[in-house]
Every structure is written in structure tokens, then in C-alpha cells.
Structure 1
């Protein structure tokens, strides 16, 4: 994949941004290659760059490469953008939907469709979600490479034959979808090194008159293709355009843009005619903060030792962004891409060239950019976040203390920036500060941060948090409304959250089908949470949707993307023989990998395997360690199982109060069956042991109490004060009530991670 800046650098300030995603798939691994798809895409990319588009292009792109390109487009699309999508390669129709085929496509199973292909209408919906105008051009209707295949595409697993050509579908408002041939028909490839008739006709028509309206362009293209193929191929378009669109800007806009490139500007937008210094340095270094767009005017003027920026012309583009000289200043906009923050340096570099006018001469100057990435972006940036700068950590990768400090500082320095408010909320959630996290997410929503809609909604709908102690309202309907706003803006996390709700809780087949569609749509963008949810859905025994082979396809895709839940779920598959004979060693390795990555249930699962004698060389002591780790992550069964072992002295010495502490903690976690088992385990013990457990737990939380098995006035005052601080009522004058209150205080102080469940 390559991401290249547009060749035209300066644009009129009132014009929307212009972005294109171009894919040319020619060399396929398991099916017939195409003759000119790559050549077609390259020529189309070159044309768009010449016309001022920022182009994200990929050639011979596999499935994960598709995800990368689409994720990059999510990051870089701005409100009001003009967006063009071009695809040349294999494409087929299955049922009433159209699919684009990555180069590694392999339909080995009837259930491979969602993890091996890309759905065209979803691509169009995604790219048009935040743009002003969207144009999709598909030069893909060659022969069907899978003529004998039937594949499942819907929730009910009904099978459809693959067909050549594409089918008609509803396009979003203010968009145009253009196909190289009419629905159900086949298009022609170019001969030798020539372009296809369709691509050649488009490039020729646009190059001849780039400012012509697009509908007129495609009328000419249709006529040209019809003539050159002797009536065998007739291009077809579906349009909902309500505003004009031209591939090229008008001559007036071009002149204005060119003029802006040579006018001295200040950040206030005023122009001056200043006598330049006789000499300028041949190279300057600007140290600036990395952001979605960076104002360079003041720093550049200072580096040139000028009070205001003199007349400049940009002569070469940066490698990783684009620069424009506008009436309101000089702007650098990085081309954003998703990068794991754990693997990223804090300083990024780029460079470009300018000429500075000085007494009638033009002096060349190289501008070096040293851009400091905000520590909050590195500490708590979120994956697939359309409002981020592209750096992310998964929930289990957040280093709590570092993230809190970095994001608190960022919010203080930039109080109106929704990105930092949201990322602070992520840090607070990881730290167990759920009330504060919810408030930060709400603030980010008011600041227009799209991903915060999902974060706020998950708090409102969650059953895994104590709404009383946190003060967070429970409002499922409000959550669904927030999810819908996120979906409209193209956020795959909102797609996942709403899809999960309706697949699990749908009242009828239509709601469950909607849930499946949303989850499958998010999975197509590489959202591993959705892959796991769908995988488990089809691997649930004793249901009408138990289709292990289908579920396995999703889980394998998740694990391939290094997701801890994909690891865990594949362990489940191996342990239960859902992929052939049981393989306990393989199951142990998958569970271990998941647990080491922070999976909440993985530790308890390992403990159970050890207790059953399924892990050679390990015994009760190792099992107890894993159970306790599971309890610390919020797994109630981890606490129940550990407590039972401590009562029997298995893996440790008998210690009744320590066992009761584990039961009490498990009693107040979200798993109802584990909570019931914990309540049963708390019964029948002496008042002294129960009191000692309460005192030990209070002391573990920092209270200064004597552990003597007698709850006196001093201990009760401490307990009542801590309960009030946690927004809990004081306990009854009863030993068991006191212990349970202490356990609730413990979870209020050290809550589990709802973002990990």
C-alpha cells in the first residue's frame, strides 16, 4: 500500500478536501490473474493526483490490505470531503450483494465469504458517511472466477450461487456509483499493456475536460466504451447526486490557489509587503506538535528570522503529508495511518522544500519538521478512532499511571479538544475510575468526538458495572441512540456495540439479522471484537445457529490480528474438539497466550485445566495462582474456585478468613451463578472468622483496624465512612452484611475493567 500526497498543494480555503482510495488487484494467489487491473489503477491514481486529490492507493491488495486502506480512509476523511473510490480487479455477485475480491481470496468453505471478500455497498456507505460527495467507480465485472461455488452470506446461512457481473443496489444520498458494464453483464480487459476500455475512456474524457460535470463525463464514457467494444459492453451508473461534482477544479479556483502560494501571509490572515532579509538559511528545522493539521506559519517565520512570513512557494511535497499555503496561514496535514503506539517513537519527522522571495529573487529553503506526538495520543489512543491521529493501544496495553498523567496534562493544555477528553476517559476506565471516565466521555461527545458516542453508550447499557456506586445512569435506549449516531458517522465500534445488542437480545428475526449485519460490517473493517462475537455465536451448542465451521472462520481471522479474545476462543475450540479431535496442549497454549495478554476469563480457565490434570507438571499451587488472577480481573468463578481450595488447604494452608474474602468478592461480580455459589460458600462459618475476613479486607484497602475477630464501634465507624465514600449504605449490625459491604467497597475502589469484558 502506498499513501501519496496530492501534487497540487495549494487549494482555495473554501473548497472541501479531496480524497481518493484506489485499488488495483491483478495478481491473484488462487484464481486467474487479470491482465491490466494494476495498470488501470495506476493510471487512474496518476490522473487524480494531477487533479489535486490525496490518494490512498494499493496494488495487489490482500484482505488485511483492504482493511488497512479502508481504516486509513476513516482516519483521513474530514467533514465535507469529496471522495472517489476506484477499484479494478475481480468482483462477483452473491445473492443480491456485490463483492470485491482481495488477491488472497480462497473460498474453501461455504462460510468463507465474510472473511475472504469485501462488500461493495459497505465500502460505499463507509466512505460516504462523513463526506460531502462520493463517487465510486468499479471496473471489475470480468469473468466469474468461482463459477461453481455456493456461499453463505446471511444470518440464516442460506446459500447463494456466485454470479458474474454486479447487481443494482441503493446508493447513499449525494453519491454516484459507476460500473464498467450493465448489471449482470461482463466487462472487457485491455489487450497487452493497454488499459481496459472503461478506464481508458474515463481518463481520456476527464483529461480532455476536467471541469466538466461528472454526469456529462460518464455519458461520454458510455458512448466511447459502447463504440470501442462494438456494442458488447455498456457502462452503467446509479446516481443520487444532488450537487454537482467535477474531477477537476474550475479555472477560477486554480488561479486563486496559485496566487495564494505566492502571497505573504500571517496566521491572522492579513497580507503584508515586507522587505525580506538579504539572506535566508538553506535549511530550517521546525519543532511543532503533531496533530491532524499543524499551523506552520509562526514557526516558519521565526526560523527565517522574520516577524511575519514572507512570500513563499512550496516546491516539493512532504513524504508523509501535504502542505498548503492559504490566506489564513501555512498548514501541514499528515497523512494518517493506524499504528500501534507501543511500537512508535515520540518524535516524527518529515520535510518539504520552499522558495522564499527576497528582493526579486527566489531563495530555496528546505524545511525539516520535527513533530512531537502528544503523550496522551501514545498512551491512550484508540483503534479505528476516526477522530484520532492514528496511534492506538488496545485496552489491555494501556499503562494506567502513564496514561492518566499524560491525558490529564493534554486536557488541561487543550480543554476544547475532544480527542484528549475521550482518551482521558479511556485512561480513567483502565484505572477503574468509572464515574470520571463516563464524565470524560460525555465531555468528548459535546466536543464532537465520534468515538465518545460509543464509549458513553457502553456505560449506559452495561450490566457489568454497579450503577449505584458509580452514579452512572442505566439507559439502554439512550445507549442505542448514541450508537446510531456513531454508525451514521462511520464508526465501526458503534456498529459493533449496536450489532452485539441486537444479535444477543433481538426480539425477532429482523432485529437479529440487523445485529448480524452490523457485526459483519464491523468485522469487514478488521474489528476483532465483532469477529469474536460472531465466532462464539455460531459455536454455541444446543442452538439452531450452532455452525462450528462458520464460527471457526471468524475466530481464525481474529487471532490472525493478534486479538486476545480470538486466542481464548480458539483455545475453547481445541478444548472442546470443535475443529476435529480435542487437543488439550493446543488449548492450553491458546489460553496461556490470551491470559498473558490480559484476558479476564483466561486465568480461571487455566486453573480449571490444571485442576483436571490436563497440564503436565502443574498442580494445585499453580491453579490457585491462576484463579486469584482471574478474580482480580473480575471473574467470579475464579474467586469461588480459589476460596474452595483455600478452605480445603489445596495448594496452600487452610485459612478460613482468606477464603471468605474471596467468596465475598465473587459475590459482588456480574456472573449471577458464581455470585450464588459465593453466597452459599459464605454460609455456616463462625462469626469470628467472618469478622476477621472483614477486618483483613478493610486493612488491605488501607484502613487502620485491628484484626481480632471482634467488630467493635471503631471498626464499624471505619466501615460506615468507607461505605459512604463509595456511595453505599452502612451495613446492618450483622457480620455477613459487614463483610459483603466491605467487598462492595473493594470493587468500588478497584472496579473491574468493563472495556475488557
Structure 2
């Protein structure tokens, strides 16, 4: 916005009078110590480009990749045909999920470009028409990779991108430099990862990949093929992919990777070997062909096709399957084991015969089983006993399974939630269930392994069945379906996902350790948030975000001292945003004298961890030399990183810098590009700043008073504190509208009530100009203006205080009574003793304004 001299302000300069309460704008969120086996993946595919070449295979590619990765136990965040805002949202969701993960994986299929040696993912709405479009329209890959390095042990990045470089101009801004794009620039730039990273390209650095003539791109086709093969290490996967892609493209495309992995990584490990009942006993009648032996089926965790092989044929009788005699070495599908029969036509009663068999899975793992066949004169009694036992077991199994279907509440971000299934009765422990349907989001595990369609679960394992909901899936309903076979009821466990009440009440925006979009500070109800977060901290002591959110609720309750101690606990527990919040308390003087150096030192730790608020705050401090030696280039880069993650304060700060040429050559068009980016995110500060561009004509944009008024009105409707003042001035001066004193008063008073110095000052000036009849109103608003004045947002000379001092004492006495009536006797008594009636008026105006609970987060 402009001050009275017409200078733009960034929103970082808008934090007004509320001192202690301003820190409420910098808030809270999430993290927990994840299972060391947790795998997360971001899978992005862009085909339907609006202004660039369409890539038909990209979305098909990533759908196949997502399916493959889910089978490998990854919690997948998938984005198809995402524009810039959608890309931003998917990246933030993924980075939240990646916190403390064992493996973080990114697979991107679509347009990718390199500028200045850096790689960028190109969303579907990119135009790349102006020099400002890379930094406002694309997503730097390094931003994602750097976050993964901070938050996961292994980083895997697969880029089936760079089909071509769709540049529409010859140069782009990248940080502090305008980088030229030569006609020779092709493909993506080489990336060097740190220890634990693997970066794979569908083609060599600087080269162009092919979209392919089939349903998938060549690279993705072979990646899916080989990553789906168990026991194949990732570097072996990529070797096989490279060989087949070279062959398929006749050498035109050569995949490339750079690995600094120090451990082996397998997408799919071999499952446990099949489980076979080691010894089964059956009785058959002498001189007859037995009924089916009804042998217990082998159990295989992955539900693989198993092969049974006769390793020992009976010595006296014969075993048969579908009328065919089986001899040693005969093999068949293991599901047919229960259909074996024993031919005892020539076997005497009293004979005990033995059958041996092995069961093997596709990974050459096997288990051995034996069957003891007792031949008796009359097997009817034994068979009846066995039949009765089978029927009893079936009845018990039916009863047990019928009671298992249920709904389970699953809180997000607290780890795996048990389904609460009971222990199976002894007669049903050998029952095997197959996974027939899985939740579309989140990960289901049993006994420490991740389940997929077709996997098998023993009834004895059901109490260990758990579900970890995906971040971003709140208020969802996700079903796990299990089937036990013919004549047995299916089991359906429906997981109802929800936020913990502490997250719902006190989470913060843009917290990459969080689980939800969060609340603005003024939206926190301490009466609800404090008990909810106290309960969450007690229930989940290892979840650092709950500690931080408790501090945020305490701060909303204006209990600053307690909140500071809670923030320090959250920092010790590893919560990154807590560093920025604590730093902001020192920055605004809420803990005593303002201490910019201490604030900057604290927030630098949060910036190192990639928190958007900390990146912005530390970047701004570096750029302007606030509490730290100035480093313009680094400060600029950090603020650009915050903007890449959707932090609109950073966008407006950058706009302010570029528009006014703060320590850099002025570039109004670049400033306006950032303001427009903020408007796309419904940011009220960007709306106000863009309105000022139209109001005064900036950066080659002609004056457009209708557009200015429209954006001022939108910003004001969203609660922006200075837009009402700007509207009030238009109505006061008849600029773009008919002069209207009533409308001017309405808007100026709205700005004043929101804490805008100039709104209160201009309202007071209007009253003063009306003569003696409105001098009391003038005194009230001059006092309020002085009360909310703050360096950087108000008037360093405090003209309001000077004008107040010049008013007649009679008017000030009447104003004092009006302001006093807004407070209780106890509230008036709590105010410090004033040296003059002018000081008393300012105290009363400030106390009344605070009592009305203004939106401190808006300054």
C-alpha cells in the first residue's frame, strides 16, 4: 500500500500496533516420529498443457507409476494435469507427508526446463512468455529435493521430462540474475545429490526425451516393468531400464542417473516364504477311493500363485487329482491341494501311508508339508468326526467373521491406527483372508508389512491390522475389504478419517510439518483450542506439532509467558515453525525490548529446515540487514523459495522491493507479476497492492480506477486493514467515483477500526474540517491513530498526536468520557497513570481497540 507520500508498503510492513498479539500471525503445526520403514512418493503427470505442446502419455505414465509404487508400500500423493496452484498444493501435501520418512520419492512426467543450470517443473497453465514467468509460473526441482534431504534418509527422484524446452522468450529472471536462454539449451541440467540420493533422468543431461508412440513413454514403460519385479535393487532396475529404452528408441534416448546411495533399495522385497501345515492326518476307508482329502491350503502373504510338487508318493496306495494319478515330481497349482484324493482300493486296513509335497512361490522360496494317511476298515465314524469338526470350525469362523466388519475413527498424523479387530478363537486361527479392496489413500499394514490387493492375512494376524491415513484426507471414508472364500462372510473395515481436535482448532497455514491448511490467529478460540491441545499432548507426547499448537492456543489466550515456554519445548522436540514464532516475539518486542539480532539468529534455524515463514523472515532480514549483516542475493533467494511454496507475504515483499527499487534496480513489471501471483491465491495484501498499481498507474499498467476500486473492495471484504482507507480516500476526493462524504466516513472508520493509522488520521481530519460540531470525533480518531501508530506502517512524526494536542480541552474531555465508557471500572483502573489528557486519550483508545478484539494477524 501507499503511505501519505504515495509509497508502496509490503505486507511485512503492515504488522501494526498490537505488539504482543502480532505474533499470533505466525503459527503452528505438525510432526511425529515416523515408522523407519515409511515410504512417501509425489507422482506428477502433466499432459494437457494450455499454451505449450500437449504430451499425451504423461498422465498415463504417472497413473501406472502410482499403482506400482502403492504396491511397493508408498503413500502416494498424485497430481494429474496440475496448474501452478495445484502443483504448489501437491508439493506442500507431499512435503508434509515426507517429514521423517525413510524414503522420499518424486516421479515427474511432463515438460521440464533448465534455466541458469537449475531445473524447473512446468505446470499446465505456464506460458513462459515473459522474463518473469519462470519464477512465478514454474516450480524449482531443487526446492523439493532440498526439503527431502532435510526430512528423509533416502531420496529418489525420477524425471521423465524434458521432452523439449518450450521457451517463448530469450531470458528469464532467476534470483538476482536475468539468465539468457540460448537456442542450444536442451533437456534438464545435471543434479548432484547428497549421500543417500539417487537422481534419475529419462535421458542424459542436456538431451531431449521422447513421449513415445505407445500408451506410455519409453522410460516409464520399462520403469514400471522392472520396478514391479521383487528382489531387484533400484540401480539394477535402472540398468535394465536403460538397456531397453536404448533398444526401443534405437539409441536416440539414453537414460542416465547419478547415485550416491549408501544402502541398497528395493521397490519390492521378496515376501516371506509360503506357510504350509507341516503334518496333517487323515483317515480313509480300505478298498475305496477316498473323498477329497480337504488338506489345509498353504498361506502366502503376497497372495502369489503357488506351485505344489509331490516330493514323496505313497508306497501302498495312489494319490489322484481330477482322475489322474500323481507320481513323485508331479506339479500343479497349490490351490488344488484340497482336491487330492487317495486310492485305497488295494490297500489293507491298518496301513499308514505318507505323502510328501513342497509348495514354492515365484521367488524360488518353498516350504514342505507331509500328510499321514491311515487306512481303516470302516472310516465312516472317523470321517463323520472330521466332517463334524470341519462344520464346527466353519460355524465358528462364520460367527467370528460376521462380527468383524466395523467403522473405525482414524486421526491423521498420529501414526498407524489399529482397526481394533479381536483375536480369533482357536478353531479359526488357521483361517486365511485375502485383501479384496484397499483404501484409495493411506497405507494398511499388518504385522509390520504393507498390504496390497491379493495379499493374504491369517486370522491370527487381524489384531495387528492398522491404517495410517494420508495427510490431506480428512473427512474421508476409506474401505478395506477382506474375503475368506466361499460360504464365509466378507469383512469390511471402514476408516473414517478426521483431524485431531487440536489440529482442527490450532494448526497453522503453510506448516510443512502440519497435516492441514490451518487457521489464522484470530480464528483460534482459546477456550476450545487449549483443552484440545492439552489432551493431544498428553495422548501423543512424541508429536511435536501438538506441543507447538498448544503454545499457539496459549498465545491466542494472551498468555505470552506460558506460550514462550511451550514454544521452547516444541523447538526441543524438533518443531521447525516454532523457531519462527519465537523469533517473531523478539522481533516485535513482545518479550521486552525489540531484539532484531536475537530474532534473526533464532529464525535462521527454521530457514535452514525450509519452513516457508522462516524462509521469508530470514530472507527479509538478510536482504534489509535487519539484525544480521546484509546479504542481498541470499535474502532474495530465500524469499523466492518461500514464494515458491505459496507464501504470499514473500510475494508482496518481493513486489515491494522490485516496485520501489530497494537495493536493486526497480522493475515494476516484475513486481506486478508477484502481486498478480498473490491475487491468484486470494491474498488480500496482493489485491490491495495491485489495486494501487491500477490507482496510480505503475509498471506500464495504465491507471484504471474501476479496477482499483474493485480490488480495494475485494481486499477490504477479506479483512485487509488498509484497503478501506484507500477506498475512503477515493470517495472523499471523488476519484473514480462521485465524491461521497458518507461513504468516505464508512470506509475510513473501517480502516481505523482495523488498526490503520492513516484511516484513523484521515477520519479525524474529516471531522476536524467540519468545525466545532465534530471536534469530539476528531479527538477520538486522532487518539486512536496515535494509539495504533507503529514505525514502518504509520507516521514517524505522529502527526495525529500533534493534532490531538492542538484541539480544545473541552472536546478532549468529552472524548475522554466516550472512550472511558467503553471500558469497565476495573479496566480503566488497570491503565497506567497518564501525564496529560492527551496521553490518557491515547491509552483509552488503545485499550478500547484491544478490547474489541481486532484481527491482529492482518497487520
Q: TM-score range by the shorter chain?
A: 0.7 to 0.9
Provide the TM-score with structure 1 as the length reference: 0.80
Could you say what secondary structure the match of 2:631 adopts?
helix
- 1:212: which partner in 2? 232
Q: CA RMSD in A?
A: 3.9
2:196 to 167, 170, 174: 174
- 1:408: which partner in 2? 530
- 1:66: which partner in 2? 87
Q: Is 1:144 aligned to residue 165 of structure 2? A: yes
- 2:576: which partner in 1? 450
- 1:536: which partner in 2? 656
- 1:183: which partner in 2? 205
Q: Is 1:661 aligned to residue 682 of structure 2? A: no
2:702 to 567, 581, 599: 581
CA distance in 1, matches of 2:259, 2:464: 37
1:20 to 41, 56, 59: 41
Counterparts of residues 637-676 of structure 1 (less than 5 Å): 637-649=758-770, 653-655=774-776, 657-667=779-789, 671=793, 673=795, 676=798
Q: Is 1:393 aligned to residue 415 of structure 2? A: no
The answer to whether the 8 Å contact 2:163/2:211 transfers is yes
State the Cα distance separating 1:594 from its structure 2 match. Answer: 0.6
Q: Is 1:44 aligned to residue 86 of structure 2? A: no
- 2:307: which partner in 1? none
Report the CA distance shift for 1:702/1:88 in structure 2 as closer, same or farther (over 3 A): same
Give CA-to-partner distance per residue, 1:264-316, whole Å, 9 cap, x none. Answer: xxxxxxxxxxx9793443674435363324665475449x999xx99885542
Give CA-to-partner distance per residue, 1:641-680, whole Å, 9 cap, x none. Answer: 2222233338983326434533542456764526521221
State the Cα distance separating 1:372 from its structure 2 match. Answer: 5.1
State the Cα distance separating 1:533 from its structure 2 match. Answer: 2.1
- The structure whose Rg is larger is 2
- 1:268: which partner in 2? none
CA distance in 2, matches of 1:237, 1:651: 80
State the Cα distance separating 1:741 from its structure 2 match. Answer: 4.4
- 1:722: which partner in 2? 831
Q: Is 1:610 aligned to residue 725 of structure 2? A: no
Q: Is 1:349 aligned to residue 463 of structure 2? A: no
CA distance in 2, matches of 1:556, 1:410: 38
**Relative contact order, CA 8 A, sep 6+: which one is greater?**
2
Counterparts of residues 232-381 of structure 1 (less than 5 Å): 232-251=252-271, 278-281=399-402, 284-286=405-407, 288=409, 290-293=411-414, 296-297=417-418, 299-301=420-422, 315-326=436-447, 329-337=464-472, 348-354=476-482, 363-371=489-497, 373-381=499-507
Structure 2 unaligned regions, length at least 5: 1-33, 276-298, 304-395, 449-462
Q: Which one is further off, 545-554 or 275-284? A: 275-284
CA distance in 1, matches of 2:587, 2:430: 56
CA distance in 2, matches of 1:407, 1:113: 41
Q: Which one is further off, 618-627 or 110-119? A: 618-627
The answer to whether the 8 Å contact 1:731/1:738 transfers is yes
2:837 to 717, 724, 735: 735
Report the CA distance shift for 1:480/1:704 in structure 2 as closer, same or farther (over 3 A): closer
Counterparts of residues 74-223 of structure 1 (less than 5 Å): 74-146=95-167, 149-161=170-182, 163-193=185-215, 195-196=217-218, 198-208=219-229, 210-223=230-243
CA distance in 2, matches of 1:338, 1:247: 25
Give CA-to-partner distance per residue, 1:496-554, whole Å, 9 cap, x none. Answer: 22223223337999822212212222222222222222223222268743212212222
- 1:622: which partner in 2? 743
State the Cα distance separating 1:202 from its structure 2 match. Answer: 3.1
State the Cα distance separating 1:452 from its structure 2 match. Answer: 2.3
The answer to whether the 8 Å contact 1:666/1:678 transfers is no
Report the CA distance shift for 1:348/1:217 in structure 2 as closer, same or farther (over 3 A): closer
Q: How many residues align?
A: 689
- 2:642: which partner in 1? 522
Report the CA distance shift for 1:505/1:475 in structure 2 as closer, same or farther (over 3 A): same
Could you say what secondary structure the match of 2:467 adopts?
strand
State the Cα distance separating 1:748 from its structure 2 match. Answer: 6.5
The answer to whether the 8 Å contact 2:122/2:138 transfers is yes
The answer to whether the 8 Å contact 2:576/2:606 transfers is yes
Could you say what secondary structure the match of 2:708 adopts?
helix
CA distance in 2, matches of 1:48, 1:659: 63
Report the CA distance shift for 1:334/1:588 in structure 2 as closer, same or farther (over 3 A): same
1:460 to 583, 586, 590: 586
CA distance in 1, matches of 2:181, 2:626: 25
The answer to whether the 8 Å contact 2:35/2:101 transfers is no
State the Cα distance separating 1:222 from its structure 2 match. Answer: 3.6
1:682 to 798, 804, 818: 804
Provide the TM-score with structure 2 as the length reference: 0.72
Report the CA distance shift for 1:475/1:245 in structure 2 as closer, same or farther (over 3 A): farther
